[in-house]
Amino acid sequence: MPSAIALSNASRITRRLRNCDACRRWMVYRCFSQFIGLRDIEIDGKKYATDEWTNTPSSIVSSVPRRLHLQKDHPISITRQLIESRFPGYRTHNTLFPVVTVNQNFDSLGFPPDHPGRNKTDTYYVNKDTVLRTHTSAHQADVFRGNTSDGFLISADVYRRDAIDRSHYPVFHQMEGARTWDRSIIQDSKELVRKIWDDVAQLPQHELNVSDPNPPIHPERNPLQSKHHMAEEAEAIAAHLKRSLENVVVEIFAQAQKAQQAAGQEISEEPLQVRWVEAYFPFTSPSWELEVFWQGDWLEVLGCGVVKQDLLINAGVPSRVGWAFGMGLERIAMLLFSVPDIRLFWSQDPRFSSQFTSPFPHDPSSTIAAAAPSSFSIKPFTPFSKYPAAPRDVAFWLPSTSSSAGGRLPTASSVHENDVMELVREVAGSDVEDVRLVDEFTHPKTGRKSLCYRVVYRSLERTLTNEEANGLHDSIRKALVEKLGVELR
């Protein structure tokens, strides 16, 4: 049985195991077996009991200590600091541990019991009561409860079982932000509204072309929390929220355009277009998404809204009202630095890491957001090579008791697409660029369902030989049979 020490050394062991097909198959069995039979799992020096819910593989455990958002000169860290600079004086929380309770991750935020995000197919469970956080919002209630500042920012690594492509990775980084006002120190609702509008007036002005055609509140699409808020309060909070985040967008895309210009790329002379879109989140209402028209497409940048009052009440600060937002740092960093593949952020190849230098002081222990240096500029990534792709298809019949969608809580005999993705990652690691379903077929007589996935192998650091790609693919085919019970075609 592998020990907790072996789990903590998973990265070193993984490199050795990938040297041969037999070792790869052994590794997949141990990693994908969901730690069956183990009594403990060690995550960054802390031990946790395992049970039938445990589905966190060693490859994910080994990613926890990396903390890219705190690494000096890393693009994710630079992106974090750039966004923080638009919220001077806000308290920052950047070192929160990633293992949280199910209550913190879901219940405290109002996620219903049947929400798909709770599924083992989507979330890495340490055990039935504990998960690797799927979003920075898992810490929102605790930070509200601490009540140490009117405004705060949380940046952290988050974990989700997900697709394999250039823009998705099972470990990524988010930033959460919030601003609240305390009713208990303000005379009445009118005074609160006046105070919030005064704070809006203190925010920097911008010249963005902003489209916001919908009313701040809509009784059906984007309802007011009428039990807790006056319409005028929600409208003032929304105005402060939107102006604050529009200023973030101004800075991000101004830096992106400067980087394009410095790289000799053509820059659009059209003014930046931004639009607000009504949205739904379990922990805010009304809610919105902010989209930016960039290089010919509308790009979703962030989600936000007026904080659900029940969340604040349960956090022990019932007199506070305010807003919150969340955004993915990888998406912004890929845009800022022209990084074409999310896997590159995890590369330790000096040809990647040496290209970036942060203008911000490196102080991971700092707890206050600081303004950006006047000389701030972004240097775009220069690709060091484009190695050839090696696509391979794998087709199989699903077990007769499963479906391509999977169940809410899949058993060992069911197959969910994220199970396929997880297995491929465990076998081939970062040598896989993309996995996608290219065909599905239901036999007209037996009713059995067949799926065909295209796996694209491409290393970021060297050319994979045909023999290496074939070896990886053969290991994946065998693991699909052994671990998911499919029948190869």
Burial letters for 241-252: b for 16+ Cβ neighbours within 10 Å, e otherwise?
Answer: bbbbbbbbbbbb
Q: Which residues pair with 40 in a beta bridge?
A: 49
Residue 304 reports pLDDT greater than 90: yes
Residue 406 reports pLDDT greater than 50: no
Model confidence band, residue 212 (pLDDT cutoffs 50, 70, 90): very high
Burial letters for 327-358: b for 16+ Cβ neighbours within 10 Å, e otherwise?
Answer: bbbbbbbbbbbbbebbbbbbeeeeebeebbeb
Residue 52 reports pLDDT greater than 90: yes
Residue 332 confidence (pLDDT): 94
The distance from CA 368 to its chain's CA centroid, rounded to whole angstroms, is 23
Model confidence band, residue 281 (pLDDT cutoffs 50, 70, 90): very high
Q: Which residues contact 458 (CB under 8 A, 6 or more apart)?
A: 387, 388, 389, 390, 431, 432, 433, 464
Round to whole Å and give the CA distance between 341 and 460.
Answer: 9
Residue 73 reports pLDDT greater than 70: yes
Residue 130 reports pLDDT greater than 90: yes
Residue 111's CB is within 10 A of a number of other CB atoms, namely: 18
Model confidence band, residue 38 (pLDDT cutoffs 50, 70, 90): low
Percent residues over pLDDT 90 in the chain: 72
Q: Which residue would you say has higher pLDDT here, 115 or 265? A: 115
- 415-462 confidence digits (pLDDT tens): 899 999 999 999 999 999 999 999 999 999 888 999 999 999 999 888
Residue 87 reports pLDDT greater than 60: yes
Highest mean pLDDT among 20-29, 255-264, 284-293: 284-293
Of residues 170, 59, 173, 64, the one with CA closest to residue 435: 170
Model confidence band, residue 9 (pLDDT cutoffs 50, 70, 90): very low
Residue 257 confidence (pLDDT): 84
Highest mean pLDDT among 233-237, 250-254, 265-269, 401-405: 233-237
Residue 374 confidence (pLDDT): 67
Round to whole Å and give the CA distance between 300 and 291.
Answer: 4
Q: What is the pTM of this model?
A: 0.84
Q: Which residues contact 397 (CB under 8 A, 6 or more apart)?
A: 448, 449, 450, 486, 487, 489
Mean pLDDT to the nearest integer, 312-335: 96
The distance from CA 362 to its chain's CA centroid, rounded to whole angstroms, is 23
The values of phi and psi at residue 286, to 5°, are -65, 165
For residue 222, give the DSSP letter.
Answer: B
- Identify the H or E element spanning 351: helix 350-353
Handedness of CA 257, 261, 265, 271 (dihedral sign): positive
Tell me the three state secondary structure of residue 93: strand
Residue 199 to residues 64, 153, 257, Cα–Cα distance (Å): 39, 18, 30
Q: What is the mean pLDDT of the chain?
A: 87
Q: Which residue would you say has higher pLDDT here, 13 or 371? A: 371
Residue 1 confidence (pLDDT): 33
Round to whole Å and give the CA distance between 357 and 380.
Answer: 11
DSSP string, 20-72: SHHHHHHHHHHHHTTTTT-SEEEETTEEEE--TT----HHHHTTGGG-GGGST
Residue 7 reports pLDDT greater than 50: no
Model confidence band, residue 258 (pLDDT cutoffs 50, 70, 90): confident
Domains of the chain (ranges, CATH numbers) = 65-98+133-353 (3.30.930.10), 386-489 (3.30.70.380)
Model confidence band, residue 20 (pLDDT cutoffs 50, 70, 90): very low
Burial-class residue 488 by CB neighbours within 10 Å (0-12, 13-18, 19+): exposed
Round to whole Å and give the CA distance between 435 and 423.
Answer: 11
Q: Which residue would you say has higher pLDDT here, 11 or 350? A: 350
Mean pLDDT to the nearest integer, 308-336: 96
